[in-house]
Structure 1
Amino acid sequence: MQNPVTVYYTPYLGRTPSTVTAFKPGFRMLIGQQSYRTRAEASRFRQLTYTCLQTAMTRTGETLDMPPRPCPAGIMSNVRFPTCWDGVNLDAPDHASHVAYPASGTFESGGPCPATHPVRIPQLFFEVVWDTARFNARELWPEDGSQPFVWSQGDRTGFGNHGDYVFGWKGDALQVAMDSNCDRCPQLRSQTLAVGNQCEKGAVVREEVDGWLDSIPGLMPGMEETIH
């Protein structure tokens, strides 16, 4: 399935400007846990959700779990990272405790940062659209009414959704963009997609990627008998 990804860096929303501190070299963070399978676990990350797209522009009706019904325009994963930082640590052993969500409300509502994480950072937001529309025919769905999609780590609930971030902007470019609250960002140098697509990086991890699979990725124990 094709999955277009849009990445947003937002300093503030609404009419009241506010200052944010851009991520620093070496900064990284993680949201969600691939091992989560319950609503209570997923609720720890209050802005890690899914949208059942009625059209490409649908932006309402977010859920913590996989949509339980066919979605006309596909499924969108919404990955909103915490927007408050402790101001000291670029990372943490769990890759998460050095950042936090607002003490109350959300980034969108202008909620204040907790005293433990007083530094406001940009809202990093991934929108990932999964083209599931080709599988919307009801006869393709399980007879028990459950939804059919499975994350590659074996999660059928959707609660194992997660995102990782490693800072990679050059110099103070991100801080300039945040201070300017720019869209097209004339303050920054840019390049065409054609030029960007010429960038290549060699393999870092050596792994076998050609040949036959011994098993279907994401297949849970006991499901082999259902595959024909």
Structure 2
Amino acid sequence: MRSTSLTVKALACLAAGVASVSAQRDYYFNFGSSAVVQERLDPLVNPGALAGHVHSVVGGNAFAATMDFGTTQSSSCTSVDLIADKSNYWMPSLYFHKNGKFTLVPERSPKHKIYYKYGDRGQPGADRSEFPKGFRMMAGNANLRSDDGSLGSAGSQLQWYCHGPEVQSAGIPKGFTSCPHGLAAAMRFPSCWNGQDFNKDQPLAHMAYPTTGLGLIDGCPAGFQKARFPEIFIEFWLEVSQFDGQYGPNDSPFVLANGDPTGYGFHMDFLNGWQEGVLARAMRTCRPGNTGDPLDSPQCFGAGSVQNGDAKERCKKATSVNEDIGLNGPLSQLPGCNPIQAGPGLATKPANCPGGAAVRSSSSGPSPATTAGLAPTTTSVPVPTTSAAAGPRPTDTVPPSGGSSEMSPPSVNSTSGEWKGAGCFLDALNPRSLGSRPQWWGQKISSSNCVEHCDSIRAKYAGTENGGQCFCGNELLKSASRPGKCTSKCEGDGSEICGGPGHLSIYSRDGLVSVTKRRTHRRHIRHFSASV
């Protein structure tokens, strides 16, 4: 199977960071998200109508069949960590196919991991622009059923990964009968723009991938140097443990909502809903991937900019489509007209597709796609400014939110005895402060079961983060005590606290912890292409 710039280690270390290649310094931040809805809508490719297949949708809860920038800003909440981001990101849902039945595969924490990469050479964001209002783009091709050459280091870098057996490939891999730590798909968006708006008849025409990994505008191909945006990279996580033992290592039981059993037709869509000016300011000064700046620091998005896990999990919208997508049990066919097509040629849409579903109307629905904030298909969108003097200070980004005075998490018990809370600590990136990756083992996280797991593998420290992550390790790297920043309730036990966004609730047997400082301890993870 073709290799890509996404190495085995890169996806195993799902949040370890972005490559630091040669003398180049990359700047990036990442945040988690839950689905705000799963439904058969796509305002980019099928505006105002039903989409061809079911999507998992992330971000603002104003998602609708027809959208513009104003629609995104009407969202009353967002399902991502950063409150100022009311964008929508969506991708095809996954089904398990056996005996003629299609079972919707649930998503697992961290569900959607979203990375924004920008800047290099000691100048974070110096040559990157924020997205214009109404900006839209896609990555991938829903009709692909084999590698057409667009998936490698110069393209979308599509990669599927079965966490546990450590199996990966550009398409959905084989060679396993269980993924104890989850099945994930990862893909990056193009970042070079020609100044034109999205055209649903040529959805990839206005964007291109950079010709080098450098964050400078001249790293874009000719004709696509109107602006260079931050590079978005998303990992989509699925919980497949309920299907253990139901398939063999040579079987292909998983199929995307578009009828694709190969995984090559995985794709993603983005509609910008960032509060104007916020992203541009953060890219100039925020360096979380290099120095460990917290996202709510003045250098990044400012105080109150990051919401807790409960708030984003509560952000949902009612489906706008009158259709059963499998939330209540297996289906006899995929929603829409999507027979299984394995290729290797491009998939085609069958003629005379049956109907049956409809988009619910709403008196308060979104405005037409040609209203202010979204240019008609053939026009240019103004190039955004990156002037350092523009806009308010980062601390003015969003209103402050309440915090907690939590100093040290309470003690918890394991089979070998009591572990004591050692405090709330910053989780730095590249590398992580307490381990290369979350230690998933197939259940929702609580501080108690995280400690139990870390104790079972004889780790010195246990740490929970952002309500749903568990890390184990024998040393704490590049960290600092951050009282009051661990406020996220555990997904597995709402009575317990499991760290916070970018912060760890640390436990040890004696309640003590020491921070190890290593200047040379750095990982060079290639989540993004360095150069081609």
TM-score normalized by the length of structure 1: 0.75
Partner residue in 1 for 2:308? 192
- Give the match's secondary structure for 1:69: coil
Count residues with an aligned counterpart. Answer: 210
Identity of aligned residues (%): 27
Structure number with greater CO (CA < 8 Å, separation at least 6) is 1
1:13 deviates by 5.6
Which of the two has higher C-alpha Rg?
Answer: 2
Contact 2:139/2:156 (CA < 8 Å) preserved in 1? no
Contact 1:83/1:107 (CA < 8 Å) preserved in 2? no
Letter in 1 for 2:107: Q
Letter in 1 for 2:281: V
Partner residue in 1 for 2:222? 115
In structure 2, what is the Cα distance between the partners aligned to 1:14 and 1:146? 46
Does residue 1:154 correspond to 2:265, yes or no?
no
Letter in 2 for 1:84: C
Partner residue in 2 for 1:224? none
Question: After the TM superposition, which segments of 4 or more aligned residues of structure 1 sit over 6 Å from their partners?
Answer: 210-214
Q: Where does the alignment leave 5 or more consecutive residues of structure 1 unmatched?
A: 222-228
Letter in 2 for 1:112: G
Deviations 1:70-112 (A, max 9, x none): 24422211120012112x2232342321111112x4469x992
Does residue 1:32 correspond to 2:140, yes or no?
yes
Partner residue in 2 for 1:169? 274
In structure 2, what is the Cα distance between the partners aligned to 1:78 and 1:111? 26
Deviations 1:99-153 (A, max 9, x none): 11112x4469x9921121112210111111112244343x6227xx233211111
In structure 2, what is the Cα distance between the partners aligned to 1:147 and 1:154? 12
1:62 deviates by 5.0
In structure 2, what is the Cα distance between the partners aligned to 1:199 and 1:46? 29
Partner residue in 2 for 1:11? 118
Contact 1:75/1:130 (CA < 8 Å) preserved in 2? yes
In structure 2, what is the Cα distance between the partners aligned to 1:162 and 1:140? 25
TM-score normalized by the length of structure 2: 0.35
Taking structure 1 as reference, are residues 77 and 106 closer, same or farther at Cα in structure 2, changes over 3 Å only?
farther
1:42 deviates by 5.4
Contact 1:27/1:166 (CA < 8 Å) preserved in 2? yes
Letter in 2 for 1:69: G
Q: Where does the alignment leave 5 or more consecutive residues of structure 2 unmatched?
A: 1-105, 289-294, 342-532
RMSD: 3.2
1:165 deviates by 0.3
Higher strand share: 2
> What is the aligned counterpart of 1:79 among 187, 206, 228?
187
Letter in 2 for 1:177: A
